[in-house]
Each structure stands twice: as C-alpha cells, then as structure tokens.
Amino acid sequence: MIARRGVPLPALLALPLLPGCTGMQSSLDVGGPAAGELRLLIVSFTVICGIVWLLVVATLGWALLRRRPAGTGARTQRQLTWAVSLSVAATAIIVAGLTTLSFLATRSLGGGDGEIEVVAVGQQWWWQFLYPREGFQTANELHIPVGRTVRIRLESADVIHSFWVPSLSGKMDMIPGRTTALTLKAERPGVYRGQCAEFCGLQHSHMGFTVIAEDDVSYRKWLTGQAQPARPAATEEIRAGQAVFLAKPCAACHTIRGTTAVGTAGPDLTHIGSRRSIAAGLLETTRGTLAAWTADPQTLKPGTTMPLVPLTSIELRQVAVYLESLK
Amino acid sequence: MGSSGGRRRSGWSVASGTLSLCGVTLCCLACATALGWMRAPRQFRTDPPLQADLGNLRLLPNRIGGTPPESYFALGKPYEKVAYDLSQGKRLYTWFGCATCHGDGRGNIGPSFLDGWWLYGPEMISVAASIRDGRPHGMPAYRDRMTNDQIWQLAGYVRTIGAYGPSVSATARNDDPQTRPAENRGPASILFEQGPAGMKPEQGPSP
Amino acid sequence: MKERIVHDLSHLPLHGLGTASLTWWGTCAFMLIEGTGFALSVAVYLYLMSLAPAWPIDAPAPDLLAGTLLTCLLLISLVPNLLLRRWAEREDLHKVRIGLVVMTVAGVLPLIVRIFEFPALHVSWDDSAYGSITWLMLGLHTTHILTDVVDTVVLMALMFSRHADKPRRYGDVSDNVMYWNFVVATWVPIYICLYWVPRL
Amino acid sequence: MTGNRNARTREDDRPSDTDVSDAEGERRLLATWATPRTLKGVLSTVDHKIIGRRYIATAFVFLILGGLLALAMRLQLAAPEARFIGPDRYNQIFTMHGSTMMFLFAVPVMEAVGVFLVPLMIGTRNIAFPRLNAFSYWIFLSGGILLWVSFALDVGPDVGWFAYVPLAGPEFSPGKRADIWAQMITFTELAALAVAVELVATILKQRAPGMSLDRIPVFVWAMLVTSFLIIMAMPAIMIASSTLILDRLVGTQFYNPAEGGDALLWQHLFWFFGHPEVYIIFLPAVGMVSTIIPTFAGRPIFGYLPLVMALIATGILSFGLWVHHMFTTGLPRLGESFFTASSMSIAIPAGVQIFCWIATLWAGRPQLKTPLLFVCGFIFTFVLGGMTGVMVASVPLDTQVHDTYFVVAHFHYVLIGGALFPLIAAVYYWLPKVSGRMMSERLGRIVFALIFLGFHGTFFPMHFLGLMGMPRRVYTYQPEMGWGGLNLFVSLSALVLAAGFLLFFIDAIRSARSGPLAGPNPWNAPTLEWATSSPPPAYNFRRIPVVTSANPLWDNGETLPVAGGLNIDRRELLVSSVVEALPEARESSPTDSIWPFWAAMATSILLITSIFTPWAVVWGSIPVAITLIGWFWPKGEPEDEA
C-alpha cells in the first residue's frame, strides 16, 4: 500500500462509503491526473444519480403511503399529467447534463503524444514491456518517470487482454491484429498495481503487474541497469545455478542476456532479481518464492505455460540463488 | 364435465409437469455422472514421479517402435487424443522452432509429416523417441530442452499433422497466415501427393 | 362470469387469404428474420472490406458469367411465379399444378448454375476472410433456394394428391410464391456485393 | 344461455357454440381441444398453456442450476486464494452461469410467460402456429440438456457468456467446449425466434373482436415489441455463432486478423444482439409491472399511450447502443460519443415508464400484496441499476469500471432488479391462474424480505469492489488486494438471497398442490385472462369475448359481452384485423401432433453432430426434411379440410 490515502473532495463526504474504496489497485486512490479527472467524474455522477434515485424512491414511498382524500378524479389526473411531464423533462435535462459532463471529461483526458514510448504486449498470462529506444525488454514491471507523459503502445501476442492501472488511468484493451495506445502520467512517486481486465483464459486472475513511478534520476539509473546484460556469476553456487538453468529446459523458453539462454516463449529473466514480483504479480521476489515457483508452477498457478521441470533439491536451490542474483 | 374437473386435472398436471421436468433434468445429470469415464478433465500438472516414468521409453534395439511406459497407459493415452494436450503440442511446435526444419508439416530441411512416410514408423513412441533423442542427419535431441510430458504432447501433435482423416480432437487453425488446412481437417488427406515425393534418401533409412 | 352474446361469427369464411391468413404473417416474420440475416451478412462483407488494404484479398474479382446467368434465371422465374399467384388466387387447380411444376424446374435450374458459381469466386472459404464471407453469403442464399425448392416440390405433391382443392392449399401456394419473390429479392444485393463491389 | 338461434348462411354445416347448451358446448369443446393423458399426448400436445407451463418450469429449473453455480462461485470468492474450485472449473462455472441465466432462463422464461398469457389476455383459444410452439420447446430443452450434460462431462464452455474471440476461437479454445456454447446458442435462438414469430402473428391477428390497438393490455404490447426485438436481433448472434463454429471446424478466417478477419467483428455482432437481448428480457418485465400495478392500485394504468410509446422507443433505441460494451477497444472517439449519447437517452423512455407507474400508484389506492411488494422492490432496485447504467454509458467513466465488479453489480441490478423481481411478482400474481390456487401471502412477505435484503447485500458491495479494482471473472485474488472483507460479506448475503429463493420455490410448489382455491379472478383484475376459470380450460374461453374498453373486466359489470358462432367440433379460432380487431375469418387451429417432437429431435441431432463434422449438415438435413413433411402433410382431419 503505497499510494496516499485520503480524498480531497468534499463531495465525497456525502457518500460515506466511497472513501473506504482505497487499496493498492483502487480507481479512487489517485496517483495521476487522468485518474483524478476520472475520480471527479465518478463522484459527480454518483452524487447526481444518487440524488435522482433518492427522489424517485421517496416519491414512490409517498405514492404508496400518502393519506388519500376522497374523490377529485379529474383534477388529480391533470396534476399527474403535469408532474409526469415535468419529471420526464427533468430526466432529459439531467441526461443531457451528464452527457455533456462525460464529453468534457473525454476532451480533457484527450490522449496526446507521450514524451516516452513503451510497448506493452499482453501474453497469456504475463506482461511483456519493451523500451524501444533503449532496446531492452522486461516483464511485469513498468518503470515511468514522475511528471512525464508516457505513451504505452498496446499489443497482444495471443488473445484480448486489457491494460489497466486504476490509480493512474482507465483501461484499454490489447487486441490481436490491432494496436491501441494509452497515456500514463504519475504525479507522485509510488508503486501502482495493474491487472488484466479482459478475461483471457485460465490465469486471467493472476495477470498483474506493477508500475513504478520514480524521479528522473532513479529512472535513468534503472534504464541503464536494465539495458545491461546479466551480471556474471559471482559465487560458486550462482555459477552452479546458472549451469543448471542452461542445461535444463529453462533456457529453451527464457532469455538471460549475456548467456546462451535465448528462449522467447517465456519472460526475459535478465534482471529478474531486481523485479518486485514474479509470475505476473503472483509472488514477491525472494529466494524462497523463486524456488517455490520453479519447483511447482502448476500448483501455484494452474494452467500457466511454465511446465513443472523436475529438479533435485540442490539444483532447485542453486537455480533460485542464481535467479535472485540477477539484479 | 364442468370447470372443476378441468381445474383438478390442470392443477395435477402443473405439479406433475414440474416434477417430471425436474426428474428429466436430474436423470440427465445422473446419466452424465454415470458416464463419468467420458469426462475429459484437463491435466495441467504432471506429478514428478509420473513425469519421470514418462521418460521410460522401451524402444526396440533399432530405436524404431517399442512400448511406451506403463504410466502412459495408466493415464489413458491422453497425448494422442485429448484436445488440450494436442493444442499444447501445437504451441510447443511453434515455441521450439520445429517449423524451421519441418515447415508447416510439409518439410523443408527436415522430412515432411504429410507425405505418408514416417521414416521411423508412425507409432507415438517412435515420434517421441525422435524428439527426445534426436535422429541422424540433423534432428537434434530435445531431451534437455523439454520435459517428458511436453515431448509426448509434441509427439501427439506431430502425428495429427500427418493424420489421414479429420479428427475431432485435433487442433484447428491458428490465428496466423495460413499455408495448409488445419490438423482437424486431416491435411495429409487433402494435400497428399502420390509417392514419396518429399522423401530424401540421405535423411535416413527407407521405410 | 355471465356471458351476453353480442356478436355472431358463424358467417365468417373458414379460411382467410392474404393478410387475413396467419401463415401469411408467419411467412412475413420468417422473411424478416432471414432478411435481417442477409442484411447482416452484407454488413459483415462491407465491414471486412473496410478493414482490408485491398479487396478482394489475394484473389481476382469473381467471374461474372455464372452469377449473372443465375441472376437472369431468378429474375425470369418471377414471371411464372407471379402467374402462379394469379392462378392460385383464382383457385384454378389445373393451372396451379402446371405452375408448380414450372416453378420446381425454375428452382432447380439456379441450383445447377450455383454449382459453377463457387469455383467462379476464385477463392476458397479458408483462404482469407474475403473467401469466408463470400462463401458464407453464397451458401446462405443457396440454402434458401434449396429450402424453397423442397417446399415447392412438397406443395406440388400435395396439389396432385386428394388434399389439393382447398382454399388453404391455394393460400399455401400464394405464400410459397411470396417466399420465392423474397429469395429472388435478397439475391440482388448479394449479387451486387459479390460480383460488382470487388470491381469498384 | 342456450343460444338456439336460427341457422344463417354458414360456411359449413358443423355445429357452433350457439347451437347447443352451455354444458354440452363445454363438453364438446373439451373433447375437441383437450390433450389426452397419455405419453403420446404429452409429447404431441400443442396447447399453449401446457407448453407455456413446461417452458416456465424448465426455465426455473435452469434458474436453480444457474443459481447453484453462483453459490459455488461465491464460496470460492469468499476468501482470498481459496482453493475450493480451480481456474479451469471456475471458468466453466461462470460461463455456464451467464449462459444458463441469459439463454436458458431469462429469455425463455419471459417468452414462456408470453406463450401462456398472451392468448388468454387477447381472448383467443390457442397461440398461432401451435406446433411450432411445441417444436420450440423441445429445441430449447435439447439445447439446455446439451449444455448441462457437457458441463457434467467437463467439456462445458469456459470462454465467458460472450465468448470473445480469439479466446473462443480455434487457436485458444481447444476441444469442443466453445463449439458446445456456440451450438447451444443456435438451439436457444431457434427456439426464441419460433416463439417470437408465433407471438407476433397471435398478437396482430388473433385478438378478440373489438380489442383495437389502444385496448391491447400493456403486457401484450411489451411481448409484441419484444418479439420484434428478437426477430431483428437474434439473426446477429446466429451469424456470429455459426461463423465461430465455421472458423473452428472448417478453417474459415472471419476472426483471423492475419487473413483479413477481425477480432472486433465478433464483438460488434455479439453486442448488436447482446444489447437488445437485455431489453428482450426487460420489456416483458415492464409489461408485467404495468399489468400488476393497476390491479393493486385499483385504477387503470396512468399514461397508457406514453407507456406504449416508451416501449416502442426503447425497442428502437436498443439497436443503437451496442458499442457501449466496447468503449475500451479503442474505437474512434466520435463514434463512441454518439453511443454515449444514445445510451444515456434510453433513460428517457425508462423514466416515462417509472413515472407513469408511480403516478398510477399515487392516484390509486394501493394494496401492498406480495406482487406489489415485488414491484416496489423492482422500482427501488431497477432505478439504482439504471443510474449505474448511466454511469457506464459515459466513455471515460466506463474505462475505469468496465469489466470490473462494478459492471457485475450494474447488470445484476438491472437483470435481477429489472426482470427477476417483476417475474417473481408475476408468479405470485398469475400462478393462481395457472394452477387455480393461491400462494401464501404470509410466506410471500418473508420471501420478499429475504430476496430484497439478500439481493442488495450481495450486489451493492460489488460496486465498491469494482471501484477498488477487482476485475470480473477472476477465480481468486490475493489477500493483499484488500477485497477479502467485502467479498465475504457478499458471499454471506448470497446465502440469504438463496434462502429467499428456496422459500419461494417451496411456497410455489406447495401452493400448486394444496393452496386455497383461487376462483376465476382473485385479484379483481381488469384483463381478459381473468374472465375464464382458473386454471383455464383447454379451449380457454367458452365463447370469444368482445372487447369494448382497455379494462374489460372492470368496465363491463357482471356480464361479459361475447361472440358466438365458432365451431365446437373442430379446433377453430378467430382471426381479426390488425388495427381494429374486426373479425375476418374463422381459422382452424392445428391439432396435436407428434411430428414437431420428431422434427426437434432430428434438428437436435443435426446441430449436435455438426459440431463434429461439417457433413452432418448434409446428411442430417434428410431426417429433418422428412419430419417436417410429416408435420405439414394433411392428415384428413376436420382442421385440414377448410
């Protein structure tokens, strides 16, 4: 939970439940201008619609329970005709107002070009992020500099996914055969969680990622680090782990730049040790989780494309240590 | 015959109609349960011991033909007929670059799967052995690059490429540019050309 | 509830014709369903065309001969069809029988020509989306011709049987005429789509 | 009244209902119209009441099954990282839940209520094309069994109820799961289209003399508009599901972008059907509410004309909204703005309806019996669902809530609140007509309390879950997401909701067996279905009523004007003109026949086998043709001889 809590809008106070809607992936926990705009829109709509709903329900209750005078048929009929006509007119005006509100929000959100371009490719069930200018790729973790607009080009390698970081912006689908785009801008440093929002098969539930917004210096540093090949093995155990990795099926699907592992079916693992989570947001990156994941991916994430590769416990530990060392 | 007779009758038939419909539905579900052996659950995880046993290919000395491991039969030979395993095999065919040599199945550097000629016989075990151990004249061994169940999945898929009839469980077309009918339409029967046209004698023994 | 008879229905005819017949309305409703289906298939065709950089996709435009011949056959078949309706309205059994025989032939002939239309497309259904939609449209329309031919044959058999000389049967013949008009009418936009839009 | 008037010039010399005593007339009408109580009778009946009842009962069985699946999902989601159901099974379960509720429950049950009620409400003896009606039921049943047997065999569809390609396409959905879904669509759409055609013909041509367009009960208007929606919308899904099967089976390229196809084409086709589908479910409910409110308010509906215009306007507008399901696919902004405006504008006809209902209640003296309670619950809930509907109609707002639990909450508010509440009200209201027995008022109030509280407890928190970032269709979520508490609350409330439904079904079955007798018109309702006995005899009305006002049973005192002269020894009904309902002809109505059953079986075999081989369409059509010829070939009965 990194994003700042608290909602500045007094309007929200009228809706006691909404401020409770915070969380690491909440659309009301705003981290950027677009999400702020959208939260304002959500709140305005909720307030207006809520009032209308209360009025309708109150009228219904009144109509059911009011004390009834005797007689007066024709007059009631005329009054009712007026009342209904006015209500319909009011409905039309409110609807028109809300439509205008929506259009205004669309205009002020207005996409635009980004200062930085990143390509996000949805895969069953992980996220591939490519930084074309720097020429490297990473997985499930997107870094962006605070205060700058980042244009994310959205593609899909298989089925339809949807790119969604609620605290920063609305969602946009990734459709095979088409290219869509989304702009992200973070106002303050932080870690924002995103998740696939379009049902994409077995592990749709475990297709999360993190967006890390950081100041320009850290961002540059991160870029430089990521563009490097993997650091050479420093200890005996790491070297042993690397040997296991390269000799076993691991290397057939994963790339670790700087080694002979050049598989492309799975995520690039060159700097996996530096990422906050593994298996698309499933587990925090530690030596233990790396070992657990490698040992039995199909129990942790049934149906994932990573097979259960039989390893001895020693091999398993060596591989985990090696992967953890890939900072 | 007044309306009261009609009433009793209809009242009865509402209840009995409802009951019999519930009965019909329940019977159907009961039948379905009884036909449990027809269920086609998908196995995502192969237990490590099973995984290890799947590697026990009991091949004949010439490494053509033989008996698959016991566990293969115990599982019910899923890799030949379960649609999910076949589709996984198809993905492996792409991921492991089989198309580099075998093309879309019509062969290129490597032999074709569509011409009716299986250089080492058409049995699952021979295909699996070819993938796992490699073959002379260029077929590399995938022993260290794939797990045993993946090898079986791929072998099952490769055999559907060369199947001579449409198969219900074989994979359908991919969302890619098309070069031949998909496996579920029996491409070998559509594209078959008389004689071992794609056959290259230098690639191995004649069948 | 007590009843008070205020109206006598016994003088009414035992079968309504035209809009007074339920079958007429049923046929219209089915034509609306199928017409919507045809309209949607044309919409799909145009939608796919709007996406494609070149249309037709990887194929020459279809040969005109078979399609145009079929169009002519269908248009010509309207003449006996409309005559058949007139004869059915007059309840002239003999002429209706002749008309039904003629319409059976007029239904089978386009089916024969249709066999040559598929190769004239120069594309297979599995080649590209263009091939798929053209085969779908052609197949959809073929099913309609086929259904109507079977319908006509059954009706013809009926008119040669002892059940023939009833107002209801003549109503059926009229509805069959209407349906054939529909089959012909839906072909025109499909013909334009399939044969002339690729030449634009 | 023994009408022994002198015979006039008749088209035939058979006895009419004015020639014999009432008792004799009823006896002979029953002999003509009744369904024999044999197995063959059961399979070959064409009585709209029996088929309607079957349809309703079957649909409710599917409601129960779908509801059990919902409970299973709630059990799995009650706690984070639960392992009660794995992803493969969970995906099948939510697909089955959605497909069952939409295709096997909501649409069929609404049509089935129409099948049962419309002929009674417009004063005719059977629905038009009654054999098609029988065929429709058997097809619907086959489709439902196909889907559920597949599920039991672990080949249930797992691609979601809108089966987006490419996930449902040939590459990513191996096996027959998606095919079974697509073919189930064909079954249910075939059944729905058949009923729609029958209802259109019945409503336009079989109304009692004098029931001009401005005297048609609002429910019948609603069914008419619904039927037209079905006729115009369902071909889209038929094309979509057929092309999907073709892509999967014979390798067509409709949805393959690499060969000129397009994944979004599916979404356009699906939602071009899918949005009207919502109104196909909702409009009959509008009709039910508009029928129930006047009865319990004790006065005619306020604003009949605006209500009917609102129904028609909703029907037309519903075809202009489909893109609001695709606001996150990156379509051109101008188009999206148009669909925002059109989606929001549908609030206006909805407003007209709501205000007219409230006005009726205001002007009347409402009796808060169970049906009216559910109607009030409907207005309370549906308006809330409508408000969230306005929210999701806004493109920017939708980008935050689309495909989240907010949307799940929204559509359950409009579908359960907007259609199921009125349907339960309708069951309480019309079950006495169907079974002849009353349901319990006391239990009814408890049922209402449980369902109402259970419903809001279940679905209201989902709005917040959606805003907190919980996507729909997840089989589990991680504890650190912070969704656990609300989800547990939702799951517990779902139990309350389920308890309400359980009590409702117990009450309905108990009432149908041993409830107090209802009599012809227990609610003192104004429409024609209450003019005949409860349950109605096989021939519906001894004589066809003559309608002189929009509320015939209120405006005619104790005596109902009727029309005599229909034949009693052969199935005969009255065909009248479209606008003014002037009598046009005495049309014979088809007799019972086993052929629709066989035709449905032949069609089912064709459809099911065509999942496996395209050639099934060729050889499977032969038995279909044979059974259809058997169906239509005259058998020399009196009904054929006109």
Chain segment D443-474, per-residue pLDDT in tens = 999 999 999 999 999 999 999 999 999 999 99
Closest-approach residue (CA) in chain A for B47: A308
Chain segment D542-595, per-residue pLDDT in tens = 999 999 999 999 988 788 999 988 988 899 999 999 999 999 999 999 999 999
Chain segment D112-135, per-residue pLDDT in tens = 999 999 999 999 999 999 999 999
Mean model confidence pLDDT for chain C: 93
Nearest by CB: A303 against B44, B48, B91: B44
Cβ-based neighbour number of residue C9 at 10 Å = 22
In this structure, of B164-173, D78-87, D284-293, the range with the lowest mean pLDDT score is: B164-173
> Does residue A141 have a pLDDT over 50?
yes
Mean pLDDT calculated for residue range D208-221: 96
Touching B: which chains, 3+ CB pairs < 8 A? Answer: A, C, D
Mean pLDDT calculated for residue range B168-194: 85
The verdict on a CB contact (< 8 Å) between A25 and D469 is yes
Q: Which of residues 105-134 of C touch B (CB under 8 A)?
A: 126-127
> Does residue A56 have a pLDDT over 80?
yes
Identify from C126, C128, C130 which residue to disrupt to test chain B contact, counting B C-beta atoms within 10 A and taking the largest count.
C126
Chain segment A85-131, per-residue pLDDT in tens = 999 999 999 999 999 999 988 888 866 677 899 999 999 999 999 99
Chain segment B66-102, per-residue pLDDT in tens = 888 988 888 888 898 889 999 999 999 999 999 999 9
Mean pLDDT calculated for residue range D605-610: 94
- Which residues from chain B sit within 8 angstroms of residue A249, using beta carbons? 144-147, 150
Sign of CA dihedral D96, D97, D102, D104: positive
User: Closest Cα to residue C186, out of C123, C142, C129, C153?
Assistant: C142
Better-predicted residue by pLDDT, B41 or D352: D352
Per-range mean pLDDT, top range of A111-115, A319-323, D610-614: A319-323
pLDDT band at D5; cut points 50, 70, 90: very low
- Which residues from chain C sit within 8 angstroms of residue D571, using beta carbons? none
CA distance D158 to chain A (A): 8
> Does residue A163 have a pLDDT over 50?
yes
- Which residues from chain D sit within 8 angstroms of residue A171, using beta carbons? 328, 399-400, 402-403
Mean model confidence pLDDT for chain D: 93
Do the beta carbons of residue D468 and residue A42 sit within 8 Å?
no
> Does residue D324 have a pLDDT over 50?
yes
Identify from D390, D413, D475 which residue to disrupt to test chain A contact, counting A C-beta atoms within 10 A and taking the largest count.
D390
Better-predicted residue by pLDDT, A273 or B17: A273
User: What architecture does CATH give domain C21-199?
Assistant: Up-down Bundle (1.20)
Three-state SS at D134 = helix
Chain segment D269-321, per-residue pLDDT in tens = 999 999 999 999 999 999 999 999 999 999 999 999 999 999 999 999 999 98
CATH numbers and ranges of domains, chain D? 22-588 (1.20.210.10)
* H helix runs in B103-147, sequence order: 124-133
pLDDT band at A13; cut points 50, 70, 90: very low
> Does residue B15 have a pLDDT over 70?
no
Q: What was the pLDDT predicted at D228?
A: 96
| Number of continuous H segments (helices) and E segments (strands) in chain B | 9, 2
Identify from A165, A184, A205, A284 which residue to disrupt to test chain D contact, counting D C-beta atoms within 10 A and taking the largest count.
A205
The verdict on a CB contact (< 8 Å) between B35 and D258 is no
User: Closest Cα to residue B55, out of B156, B160, B150, B121?
Assistant: B150
pTM: 0.93
Mean model confidence pLDDT for chain A: 89
- ipTM, two decimals: 0.91
Q: What was the pLDDT predicted at B33?
A: 63
pLDDT band at D9; cut points 50, 70, 90: very low
Three-state SS at D380 = helix
The verdict on a CB contact (< 8 Å) between C163 and D640 is yes
- Which residues from chain C sit within 8 angstroms of residue B178, using beta carbons? 126-127
CA distance A82 to chain D (A): 11
pLDDT band at D422; cut points 50, 70, 90: very high
Which stretch of DSSP H or E encloses residue D575? strand D572-576
pLDDT band at B137; cut points 50, 70, 90: confident
Three-state SS at D124 = coil
The share of chain D scoring above pLDDT 70, in percent, equals 98
CA distance B173 to chain C (A): 10
Q: What are phi and psi of A212, to 5 degrees?
A: -110, 115
Residue with tokens 């109150």: A58
Mean pLDDT calculated for residue range D603-631: 93
The verdict on a CB contact (< 8 Å) between A159 and D167 is yes
Q: In the 8-state DSSP scheme, what is residue B162?
A: T
**Region B48-203: CATH code:** 1.10.760.10
The verdict on a CB contact (< 8 Å) between D583 and C132 is no
CATH numbers and ranges of domains, chain A? 10-109 (no CATH), 116-227 (2.60.40.420), 236-325 (2.60.40.420)
User: Closest Cα to residue B119, out of B82, B81, B65?
Assistant: B65
Q: What was the pLDDT predicted at B32?
A: 62
Which residues of chain C register pLDDT less than 70?
A: none
Domain spans, chain B: 3-37, 48-203
Mean model confidence pLDDT for chain B: 80
Q: Which of residues 264-283 of D touch C (CB under 8 A)?
A: 265, 268-269, 272
User: Closest Cα to residue D472, out of D68, D262, D181, D161?
Assistant: D161
- CA distances D89 to B43, B166, D94, Å, are 12, 29, 9
Q: Write down how long chain C is.
A: 200
User: Is residue A175 less than 8 Å (CB to CB) from chain D?
Assistant: yes
User: Closest Cα to residue A81, out of D352, D216, D312, D310?
Assistant: D352
Nearest by CB: A249 against B42, B91, B144: B144
Q: What angle is formed at CA A96 by the lines to CA A95 and CA A101, rounded to 5 degrees?
A: 95
User: Is residue D401 less than 8 Å (CB to CB) from chain A?
Assistant: yes
CA distance C57 to chain B (A): 13
Touching A: which chains, 3+ CB pairs < 8 A? Answer: B, D
Q: How far apart are CA D377 and CA D239, in angstroms?
A: 38
- Which residues from chain A sit within 8 angstroms of residue D365, using beta carbons? 68
Give the 3-state DSSP-derived string for chain A, with helices as H, strands as E and coil as C: CCCCCCCCCHHHHCCCCHHHCCCCCCCCCCCCHHHHHHHHHHHHHHHHHHHHHHHHHHHHHHHHHCCCCCCCHHHHHHHHHHHHHHHHHHHHHHHHHHHHHHHHHHHHHCCCCCCEEEEEEEECCEEEEEECCCCEEEECEEEEECCCCEEEEEEECCCCEEECCCCCCCCEEECCCCCEEEEECCCCCEEEEEECCCCCCCCHHHCEEEEEEECHHHHHHHHHHHHCCCCCCCCHHHHHHHHHHHHCCHHHHCECCCCCCECCCCCCCCCHHHCCEECCCCEECCHHHHHHHHHCHHHHCCCCCCCCCCCCHHHHHHHHHHHHHCC
Q: What was the pLDDT predicted at D385?
A: 95
- Which residues from chain A sit within 8 angstroms of residue B146, using beta carbons? 249, 252
